[in-house]
């Protein structure tokens, strides 16, 4: 009997990557196998992002590709998932893309699994009928399938959503409309998922939320991100923990202290400022001022002095003058943050900004501002990374890249080094011999925790996970 194959195309934030991984493992639980080749897929899922126009354009381009494929292969089943579908866009999208069989909101593979369980047409493959006889519950509860087959014992870092949705209303942001209101996952579900992940080789856990430092604020019991970090750290197989994305208004001393005191929690903060001018911040409805943000950074540095602080910035927000932009520039220069996830403002349908604020900064000007910040951050990072030159840094090795092993330091700096033997998943010390703004190189000094044995061919590992914010920023 022919094995049915699935292909998942993912764009967007780490939350989408986690959703795709969950979906892949659930599809495998009911009998599908992963393929990287759309031509041989029986089921194609597009997991989409609309946080920026560019991401939405790419999703539409991919839909056109799938439409052409389905004309040649009418039996192909197509699922559309993620923020493009949101909580209520399916009827509109159904008219626009009639070849799509099923629509799924973010983090909810239920509609696809229900679709696959429906009574089959008489002429359909018996294998599909077999798949349809299995329940969604079986898929979710099957311990074996927490990672798709090719990722098992090959995925070093896994994203684990802990807060779904967002109840804020930043005027530029489409996420609350598409991912629904904020809700925290129960700690026992999160811890169980992490134990299954570590049993399959995962060594670093990234806890995710649109506002991750609000975790647990909807619980009756006083249990928040700090408590969860300690519980995750108590799992022996977890070597490292990170969390993103924080919101400046919710970063408590307790979270910062746990980050400082618990060795498994990396000293790495993601605190989006978005703009450094108070009028722009007010127009964005971010709920803090540039002075508040400065005090926050001072507090983080006072409590946890040896750290990395990354931020997000949007340039060219409606009405942002050159002078207002320069306030953002000066704030980054003054605070010397470690990394800036930069985005040029793009109007998102239904947001308050799209409805009430004309997108009046030209493309050319947005690009000029983006480049200015980019150059500034290059200078800051060039200087800051030199502190590690000739020093030993601890690296968790993630993958092999162009003949070298590649991993990250506790401060989330990318490090490359050479070694003949398998290093995947090893915790090693590397002496740094070269630094640049975005990566460092060095020589292996010692192995502290051995690699994960018997890795499969890395070229066959599906991209359900990409390193931190190398794609689009979600927040």
Closest approach of Cβ 314 to ligand SF4, in Å?
9
Span interacting with ligand SF4, options 172-180, 212-220, 228-236, 372-380, rule CB under 6 A: 172-180
Which of 44, 76, 166, 229: binder of ligand SF4 (CB under 6 A)? 166
Q: How far is the CB of 55 from ligand SF4 (least distance, A)?
A: 14
Could you say whether residue 78 binds ligand SF4 (CB under 6 A)? no
Residue pair 430/443 in contact by the 8 Å Cβ criterion = yes
Q: Could you give the string, one character per residue 206-245, with x where binding to ligand SF4 holds by CB under 6 A and - elsewhere? A: ----xx----------------------------------
Question: Which of 76/353 has CB closer to ligand SF4?
Answer: 353
- Contact status: 475 vs ligand SF4 (CB under 6 A): yes
Q: 460 Cβ partners below 8 Å, 6+ apart?
A: 36, 150
Give least dist CB 166 to ligand SF4, A. 3
Residue 49 engages ligand SF4 in binding (rule: CB under 6 A): no
Asked if 132 touches ligand SF4 (CB under 6 A), the answer is: no
Of the pair 224, 410, the CB lying nearest ligand SF4 is at 224
Which one, of 309, 272, 277, 279, lies nearest residue 290 by Cα? 277
Those residues with Cβ within 8 angstroms of residue 316's Cβ, 6 or more apart along the chain or in another chain: 325, 344, 345, 361, 365, 366, 369
Which position among 185, 247, 348, 369 is part of the footprint of ligand SF4 (CB under 6 A)? 247
Under the criterion CB under 6 A, does residue 348 sit at the interface with ligand SF4? no
Cα Dmax for the chain: 69
Q: Per-residue string for binding with ligand SF4, 437-456, x by CB under 6 A?
A: --------------------
Least separation in angstroms between residue 244's CB and ligand SF4 is 11
Instruction: By CB under 6 A, tell whether 469 contacts ligand SF4.
Output: no
Q: What is the dihedral of CA 316, 214, 207, 272, to 10 degrees?
A: 20
Nearest alpha-carbon partner for 84 in 60, 64, 108, 117: 60
175 binds ligand SF4 (CB under 6 A): yes
Side-by-side strand order, sheet with 183-184: 183-184, 157-164, 204-209, 240-244
CB of 362 to ligand SF4, least distance (A): 24
- Dihedral angle over CA of 63, 67, 68, 71, nearest 10: 170
For ligand SF4, which stretch binds (CB under 6 A), given 24-32, 77-85, 109-117, 169-177?
169-177
Is residue 164 near ligand SF4 by the rule CB under 6 A? no
Q: What are the structure tokens assigned to 186, written together?
A: 């129960």
- For the CB of residue 64, give the shortest distance to ligand SF4 in the complex, in Å: 28
CA distances, 299 to each of 255, 294, 311 (Å)? 12, 9, 16
273 binds ligand SF4 (CB under 6 A): no
- Minimum distance between the CB of residue 359 and ligand SF4, rounded to whole angstroms? 17
The answer to whether 254 contacts ligand SF4 (rule: CB under 6 A) is: no
* Residue 287 buriedness (CB in 10 A; 0-12 / 13-18 / 19+): middle
Check binding of 162 to ligand SF4 (CB under 6 A).
Answer: no
Q: What are 183's strand-pairing partners?
A: 164
The correct pick among 106, 176, 180, 425 for binding ligand SF4 (CB under 6 A) is 176
168 binds ligand SF4 (CB under 6 A): yes
- Is 18 a residue that touches ligand SF4 (CB under 6 A)? no
Shortest distance (Å) from residue 317 CB to ligand SF4: 12
Does 251 engage in binding with ligand SF4 (CB under 6 A)?
Answer: no
Of 173, 226, 228, 396, the one binding ligand SF4 (CB under 6 A) is 173
Of 54 and 167, which CB lies nearer to ligand SF4 in the complex structure?
167
Judged by CB under 6 A, the stretch of 144-152, 161-169, 294-302, 416-424 that binds ligand SF4 is 161-169
Work out how close the CB of 178 gets to ligand SF4 at its nearest, in angstroms, rounded to a whole number: 10
| Of residues 16 and 210, the one with the C-beta less far from ligand SF4 | 210
Q: Which residues fall within 8 angstroms of residue 379, CB to CB, at 6 or more apart?
A: none
Per CB under 6 A, 255 contacts ligand SF4: no
Contact segment (CB under 6 A) with ligand SF4 among 5-13, 24-32, 162-170, 387-395 equals 162-170
Q: Give the binding site for ligand SF4 (CB under 6 A).
A: 166, 168-170, 173, 175-176, 210-211, 247, 475
């Amino acid at each position: 009997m022919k094995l049915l194959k699935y292909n998942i195309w993912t764009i967007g934030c780490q939350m989408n990557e986690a959703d795709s991984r969950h979906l892949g493992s659930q599809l495998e639980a009911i009998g599908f196998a992963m393929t990287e080749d759309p031509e041989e897929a029986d089921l194609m899922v597009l997991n989409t992002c609309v946080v920026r126009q560019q991401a939405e354009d790419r999703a539409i381009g991919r839909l056109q590709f799938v439409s052409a494929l389905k004309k040649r292969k009418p039996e192909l089943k197509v699922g559309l998932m993620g923020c493009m579908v949101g909580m209520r866009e399916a009827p509109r999208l159904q008219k626009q893309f009639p070849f799509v069989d099923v629509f799924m909101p973010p983090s909810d593979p239920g509609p696809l699994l229900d679709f696959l369980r429906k009574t089959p047409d008489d002429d359909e493959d018996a294998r599909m009928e077999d798949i349809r006889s299995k329940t969604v519950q079986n898929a979710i509860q099957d311990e074996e399938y927490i990672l798709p087959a090719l990722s098992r014992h090959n995925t070093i870092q896994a994203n684990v959503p802990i807060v779904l949705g967002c109840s804020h209303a930043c005027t530029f942001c489409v996420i609350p409309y598409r991912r629904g209101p904020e809700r925290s996952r129960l700690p026992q579900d999160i811890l169980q998922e992490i134990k299954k992940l570590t049993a399959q080789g995962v060594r670093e856990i990234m806890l995710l939320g649109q506002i991750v430092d609000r975790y647990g604020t909807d619980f009756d019991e006083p249990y928040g991100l700090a408590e969860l970090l300690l519980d995750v750290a108590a799992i022996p197989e977890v070597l490292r923990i990170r969390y993103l994305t924080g919101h400046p208004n919710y970063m408590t001393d307790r979270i910062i202290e746990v980050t400082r005191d618990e060795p498994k929690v990396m000293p790495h903060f993601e605190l989006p400022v978005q703009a450094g001018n108070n009028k722009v911040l007010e127009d964005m409805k971010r709920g803090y001022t540039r002075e508040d943000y400065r005090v926050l950074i001072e507090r983080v540095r006072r409590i946890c002095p040896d750290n990395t602080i990354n931020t997000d910035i949007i340039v060219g927000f409606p009405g942002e003058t050159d002078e207002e932009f320069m306030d953002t520039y000066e704030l980054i220069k003054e605070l010397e943050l470690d990394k800036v996830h930069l985005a040029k403002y793009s109007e998102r349908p239904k947001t308050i900004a799209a409805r009430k604020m004309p997108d009046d900064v030209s493309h050319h000007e947005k690009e000029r501002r983006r480049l200015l910040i980019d150059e500034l951050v290059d200078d800051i990072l060039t200087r800051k990374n030199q502190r590690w030159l000739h020093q030993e840094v601890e690296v968790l090795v993630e993958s092999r890249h162009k003949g070298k092993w590649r991993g990250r330091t506790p401060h989330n700096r990318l490090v490359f080094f050479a070694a003949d033997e398998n290093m995947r998943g090893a915790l090693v010390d590397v002496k740094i011999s070269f630094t640049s703004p975005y990566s460092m190189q060095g020589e292996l000094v010692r192995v502290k925790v051995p690699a994960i044995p018997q890795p499969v061919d890395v070229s066959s590992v599906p991209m359900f996970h990409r390193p931190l914010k190398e794609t689009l920023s979600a927040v």
